[in-house]
Structure formats: structure tokens, C-alpha cells
Amino acid sequence: MTSMFDLAPEAPVVPVVVIEDAADAVPLARALVAGGLPLIEVTLRTPAALDAVRAIADGVPEAVVGAGTVVSAAGVADAVGAGARFLVSPGWTERLLGAMRESGVPFLPGVSTVSEVVALLERGVDAMKFFPAEAAGGVPYLKSLAGPLPQARFCPTGGVSPASAPAYLALPNVGCVGGTWMLPPDALASRDWSRVESLAREASALRVPVSGR
């Protein structure tokens, strides 16, 4: 199966989007894509989320839209049915992992401990979300995992900022980071899509080249 890190390998940041009004989904996605961030994670935290995924999948073909905060097998089915091309969970259970595997789309199960990482590697999963990144140990923690567990790759999410993102992206075991800083609440409230595009463009330039990546 294709890894999520292969869907848009040039995109260093995955915007983590909470959409309250599905009518905002298409212009928001277009702004993010125009800014160089085609991978878009729509969190399943609002009643509008599935309609937003569907709208982006149908209306913004340049975007690679996925669903985040997936916490149940039913959520997996709903998200894929709406057009999600990848799935992200804050954690995982055997049942949730099985449903994500069976979905046929790339997925990132969430981890925050070494034991969780090892358990996923035992099950043949090497692409993971590290969450909550800053609270769980941040860059030093992930750096310490690269030696004993070099096969695991992560998308750190949770407290990542423009200031900390380059340090994460410089790690050999990080494929991208997730963040919300390019989606300030006041810009979303005022539907200032040009500002979102500008912030997305700044975020898309954050990747730090690493030899051998």
C-alpha cells in the first residue's frame, strides 16, 4: 500500500483543518493548494466535516484530502465514503487499525510511546503520527528513536509551530509535520483566503533538505 508520505512528498506540512461550515471547504482548500500544501487533513470534529471532505474531493482535484481524528471503524467507513484519500488517528486499537488497513487508503495511526511504535512495527506499519508532539517529548524524543527504530517514520502533530517545524523536518525519521498555524481563527472567520494562501506558502518553504532522504 502507498504510504501517506508518498502522496505528496514535496509538501512538508499537512494543514490540520477544523471546518464549521462546509461552504468554506472548497475556497479554503484552493487557498492551501495555491500556497503549496496539497495534503489537507479535515478533522472529524464537527458536523460539517464529512460534507467538507466530500466538497474538497469533488471540487478541488489538485488537493489530496484526508480525514483526521478518526477514532472508530464507523468513522473510517464514513470518511472513505466521503472521498478521504488518507486517514489519521490520534491513537490506535486493534479494531481501529484493522479498519484502517481494510479501507484501502494510506493511514497514520497515532503514537506517543516507544511501546506503541514497536507494536505497530510488529504489525507491519511503519508510518505513524506522533501526537501530541510537543507534549510527548518533541524533537529530542523523535531524535532518540531514530537510532533503535530507524524504520519508523513520523508526522509530528500537536503544538508544532513555524519556529519548531524546521527542527522536526530536519530529522531523518520525519516525513512531514501537521499544523494549524496557517489557519488562524480570525482569517477563517473573515474568510480571508488570501491570507491563508500566504501563510501556506510560507509553510511550504519550511522543508530542510536532509542527505539521503
Alpha carbon distance 141, 124 (integer Å): 22
CB atoms closer than 10 angstroms to residue 147: 8
Q: What are 82's three cell numbers?
A: 466521503
Catalytic residue, from 41, 62, 116, 202: name it: 41
| 143 classed as catalytic | no
Contacts of 182 (CB under 8 A, 6+ apart): 13, 15, 32, 35, 37, 196, 199, 200, 202, 203
**Distances 167 to 4, 30, 100, 173, 207 between C-alpha atoms, Å:** 21, 28, 30, 12, 9
Catalytic residue at 41? yes
Neighbours of 51 (CB within 10 A): 17
Number of Cβ atoms within 10 Å of the Cβ of 99: 21
Contact predicate 198/181, CB 8 Å: no
Residue 177 pairs with which residues in a beta bridge? 13
Task: Tell me which of 129, 143, 197, 202 is the catalytic residue.
Answer: 129
* Active site members: 41, 129
